[in-house]
Amino acid sequence: MDDLNTVARPYAAAAFAQAKEESQLDLWSEMLHFLADVVRDADMQAVLVNPKVTDEQRLTLIIDVAGGRLNATATNLVKTLGQFRRLAALPAVAAQFDRLKAEAEERVEVEVISAYKLNAKHQKVIEDAMRERFKRDVVLTNHIDRDLLAGVIIRAGDHVIDISARGRLKALTQELMG
């Protein structure tokens, strides 16, 4: 995954610069997420890794699937990624683009993973703490993971705060194992 993030970084930066120049940050985010979904699709994955399919056929397929949802510059980005056999990096490009967009908009997206849906009081406590920590507006999303048992995992960009029972058990096990 780190490799794809490294590959994606300059493409995300270029897409962000273009989107800013066009004053189309939201549109670019939508286009990149659409492309990321296309590339993640299981049927598309089978085509992308099939050695009988040429690079040109892969590229044409992705652009055809987009069906006019891409502007000319985004189409050129897809062509460039295809030319260098980096279409698999599209989900990472979209994620990094969103980080750049959030930074430009002075907000941070915070993902809270918990065993159960957070109530309004707990969401507010986490939002306030993250707003104080990052000095930015906070957009919080809550995802449920029943395997956590208790506690939460908070992700904001590259920052991860794991105060889950599973995380504590893992840390204790590592400490005991030396």
Out of 44-58, 93-107, 111-125, 160-174, pick the least confident. 160-174
150: which DSSP letter? S
> Looking at per-residue confidence, does 53 or 163 come out higher?
53
Question: Which residues on adjacent β-strands are paired with residue 110?
Answer: 140, 156
Residue 171 amino acid letter: A
Task: Calculate mean pLDDT across residues 82-106.
Answer: 88
pLDDT tens per residue across span 35-85? 999 999 999 888 888 899 888 888 888 898 888 898 899 999 999 998 888
Task: Calculate mean pLDDT across residues 137-166.
Answer: 81
Q: Where in the chain is the domain with CATH 1.10.520.20?
A: 2-102
Contact 114, 152 (CB under 8 A): yes
Q: How confident is the model at residue 163, as a pLDDT? A: 78
Tokens 């029943």 label which residue? 146
Task: Calculate mean pLDDT across residues 5-30.
Answer: 90
pLDDT band at 2, cuts 50/70/90?
Answer: low
Choices 3.40.190.10, 1.10.520.20, 2.40.30.110, 1.20.210.10: CATH for 2-102: 1.10.520.20
d(CA 35, CA 93): 10
Average pLDDT over the chain, rounded to whole? Answer: 86
pLDDT tens per residue across span 22-39? 988 999 999 999 999 999
